[in-house]
Amino acid sequence: MKFDSLSVLAISIGVLLFGMFLKKKINFLEKFCIPAPVVGGFLVSIIVWILSFADIKITFDNALQTPFMVVFFTVVGLSGSFKLLKVGGKILLIYLACCWFMAIMQNFIGISMMSIFDLNKLYGILCGAVALEGGHGNAIAFGGMVEELTGLNNAKVLAIAAATFGLISGSLLGGPVCRYLINKHKLEIKTNENIQDIDPLKHEIHIASYQDFLKSLFLILCIMCVGFYLSSEFSKASGYSLPSYVGAMLIAIIVRNINDNFEIFKLNQYTIDTISELSLGIFLTMAMMSLKINELSEVATPLFITLIIQAIILVLFAVFVVFRVCGKNYDSAIMCAGLMGHGLGATPNAVANMNAACNRYNLVSKQAFLIVPLCGAVLIDIVAIPFNTYLINLFAN
């Protein structure tokens, strides 16, 4: 049974809606911030895998997956305003530097562990910053890149497995790390009163008209076209594979910062966020539906051991480095809870961790809620995504 691209789009939307339904009904999925596309798509991949034992083979034409993926990364780039660095001040820069170092460290650990197991070093990158810092979106994108460059057919499923492990472990470890730091150092439960209660990623516009949507979509599509062209030309000229989504993201960052300085047009962040959520949901669902679960078995044990070590080292990094350089106070303890969330999983996990910790001590850390989502969702990718691309090219040759 083979489904064409239009049928796959319809199925993906239905599966995505079903994933949202299951997430609301099953507390475990909500508690650990498991994305709805992962829930629904993984369920379909399991069904397809089971049917294969009865000689029923199902294939999906995922021609539309790449355009939706590039839309998502383009929107990530449009959120990369360098002006936002000024909002969080010195602590934001310190925390961001820690995040960038974390991405480099996770790749180093992954590559080292796969070398010990005498496996391809590209597996180490995929179970490093790609999946842990990057989450499911990056796992699928870079996993697909590795499969195209090297023919490692289990690269994508390995990266997704690592990202799923990260989501759960990041949610489990954030609260305990924060409590340990507060109790160990007998921290005073008070926060930085000078931080404004604002969300720098949001504009004042929270509704969007038909025209607003068209303007935002036009801008995103124009950036995508330029990104596709420049990525292709760069790859031809240099022999260095630059994926279209990386090129589009970098162009989007340039466009955003030029616009911040010259105010050529006004971005409707509500519309852009809606387009981002829609594109991410559909592309993740399509990718999850096409997973070949049986291809994970040969690397399952090395992967699990590597991920356990990644989690342990990130805990030590949060406790002995990030907590100290970010102020060694209540705010920095809350930020460490957030770091465990997005350093192993995704930004929603970071926010959930910080919410739980702040509720426990009845005091919201405005500094943490300003800095952590900003760095974890946007600014870290400015360095992490090009660095991951460089490493994959390096070890693929």
In this prediction, residues 134-138 reach a mean pLDDT of 88
Amino acid 388: pLDDT: 94
249 HSE (CA, 13 A, CB side) = 24
Amino acid 225: pLDDT: 95
pLDDT in tens, 159-172: 999 998 998 899 88
Q: Which amino acid is at 361?
A: Y
Amino acid 205: pLDDT: 46
Q: In the chain, what is the straight-line distance between the N-terminal and C-terminal CA atoms, in Å?
A: 36
Whether the predicted pLDDT of 228 surpasses 50 = yes
Whether the predicted pLDDT of 366 surpasses 90 = no
For residue 196, name the pLDDT band (cuts at 50, 70, 90).
Answer: low
pLDDT in tens, 289-343: 987 777 777 788 999 999 999 999 999 999 999 999 999 999 999 999 999 999 9
In this prediction, residues 212-230 reach a mean pLDDT of 92
- Measured over the CA atoms of residue 338, residue 341, residue 347 and residue 352, the dihedral's sign is negative
For residue 263, name the pLDDT band (cuts at 50, 70, 90).
Answer: confident
Residue with tokens 């497995």: 161
CA distance 189 to 380: 29
Amino acid 82: pLDDT: 79
pLDDT in tens, 92-134: 999 999 999 999 999 999 999 999 999 999 999 999 999 999 8
For residue 193, name the pLDDT band (cuts at 50, 70, 90).
Answer: low
Share of the chain above pLDDT 70, in %: 95
Amino acid 198: pLDDT: 46
For residue 31, name the pLDDT band (cuts at 50, 70, 90).
Answer: confident
Amino acid 387: pLDDT: 94
Amino acid 389: pLDDT: 94
